[in-house]
């Protein structure tokens, strides 16, 4: 039967993922409503009979366009065979791609300003370089995990402001960062720069990201080289990759950049995206971060990543950094939402600041789709488990 066009996962979306059913190997599918379409069976194409999207993504932009066209035509013709359709409730979802490299940016002016005020109350909130380049750090691809995977509370060194020496133990200021991630489909050669104009030919699609953050470990380690163990223990992503081709209607202008970026960062038409996120803490929505307020675009991030000649590879993941808007209820990290723990929020009747063991965080999102529809990103969900160390 034809798909329900009112669904967040109708034919205007068609996000890709990797799924399996009992007794069979993982393979590539797309979500259509409450079903998963088995692309290996539908197209008899070996690129889809794989445990990741990498082979298909590496085939390039023209292939992405053609497969999407054929899919939408089959749906319109009600020509999806029964043997290629599986109820979503009966499949297991896996990591959608093999992550090559992982870079995390810091692209929200509201988030960066809030943290500047928290950490440097007597100085300018933004450091001098912030409006000249997309600030980022290189993370660990090996600890990127799929939605639904539990997160173990990390251990490490932390130093209280009034202490003379650091101590070792479980993080006591465990936080989230609600972000949008971009998956590179086709890479670039070493020494080659990817321009902002070539963004959509290199980036296959988007995922939701929760970059779990141990703020106490981070605060002690990050000077002078930046985030390391406070970030590298886990980064969760959604199981569905929304193709960039589905986000044409969500494209919007950036809020404005002053000063004008250097030439390699300029865009003829900006790749701002009107994507609305929700953060639920133990089932209660506590924040609604708006991606449309981000200062730097994903095209500018990719251009900056490669301007020094660094190569991009199929499966590279780069994330936006915490998405925060101008209002308190739009802050995408709990360090902001609770103002460093000084302004607790009420979650299910209890005052809370940072995460405790057993807490579950779910981040969801939607965006305008073609023909007046809305499209969904699924969710990125994780539950905090106790630390493996002793203090």
Residues annotated within the binding site are 104, 106, 120, 177, 179, 211, 218, 222, 231, 235, 322
Q: Which residues are annotated as a binding site for Mg(2+)?
A: 211, 231, 235
Q: Would you call 310 exposed, middle or buried from its count of C-beta atoms within 10 A (0-12, 13-18, 19+)? A: middle
333 three-class SS: coil
Rg of the Cα atoms in the chain: 21
Catalytic residue among 94, 110, 111, 304: 111
Q: How far apart are CA 279 and CA 140, in angstroms?
A: 24
Q: How far apart are CA 319 and CA 221, in angstroms?
A: 21
Measured in degrees and rounded to the nearest 5, phi and psi for residue 350 equal -120, 135
Q: How far apart are CA 29 and CA 36, in angstroms?
A: 6
Torsion of CA 316, 68, 198, 209, to 10 degrees: -40
Which residue, 67, 82, 112, is CA-closest to 1?
82
Q: Which residues are annotated as a binding site for substrate?
A: 106, 120, 218, 222, 322
From first CA to last CA, the distance across the chain in angstroms is: 58
Q: Is residue 304 among the annotated active site residues?
A: no
Catalytic residues: 111
């Amino acid at each position: 039967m034809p798909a329900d066009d009112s669904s967040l996962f109708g034919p205007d979306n068609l996000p890709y993922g990797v799924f399996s059913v009992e007794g069979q190997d993982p393979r590539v599918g797309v979500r259509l409503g409450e079903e998963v379409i088995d692309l290996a069976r539908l197209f008899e194409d070996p690129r889809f009979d794989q445990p990741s999207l990498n082979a298909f993504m590496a085939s390039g932009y023209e292939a992405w366009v053609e497969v999407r066209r054929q899919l939408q035509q089959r749906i319109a013709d009600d020509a999806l065979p029964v043997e290629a359709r599986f109820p979503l409730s009966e499949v297991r979802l896996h990591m959608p791609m093999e992550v090559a490299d992982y870079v995390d940016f810091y692209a929200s002016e509201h988030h960066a300003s809030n943290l500047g005020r928290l950490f440097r109350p007597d100085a300018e909130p933004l450091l001098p370089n912030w409006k000249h380049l997309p600030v980022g750090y290189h993370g660990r691809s090996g600890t990127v995990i799929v939605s639904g995977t539990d997160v173990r509370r990390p251990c490490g060194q932390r130093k209280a402001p009034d202490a003379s020496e650091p101590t070792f133990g479980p993080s006591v200021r465990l936080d989230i960062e609600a972000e949008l991630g971009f998956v590179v489909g086709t890479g670039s050669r070493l020494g080659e720069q990817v321009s902002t104009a070539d963004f959509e030919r290199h980036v296959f699609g988007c995922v939701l990201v929760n970059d779990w953050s141990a703020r106490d470990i981070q605060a002690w380690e990050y000077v002078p080289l930046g985030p390391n163990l406070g970030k590298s223990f886990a980064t969760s992503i959604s199981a569905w990759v929304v193709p960039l081709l589905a986000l044409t209607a969500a494209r919007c202008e950036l809020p404005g950049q002053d000063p004008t970026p250097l030439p390699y960062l300029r865009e003829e038409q900006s790749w701002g995206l009107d994507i609305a996120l929700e953060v639920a803490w133990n089932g209660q929505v506590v924040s609604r971060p708006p991606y449309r307020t981000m200062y730097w675009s994903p095209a500018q991030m990719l251009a900056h990543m490669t301007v020094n000649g660094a190569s991009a590879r199929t499966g590279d993941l780069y994330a936006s950094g915490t998405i925060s808007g101008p209002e308190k209820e739009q802050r995408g990290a709990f360090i902001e939402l609770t103002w460093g723990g000084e302004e607790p929020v009420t979650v299910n009747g209890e005052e809370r600041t940072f995460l405790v063991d057993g807490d579950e965080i779910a981040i969801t999102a939607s965006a305008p789709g073609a023909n007046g529809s809305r499209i969904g990103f699924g969710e990125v969900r994780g539950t905090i488990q106790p630390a493996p160390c002793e203090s």
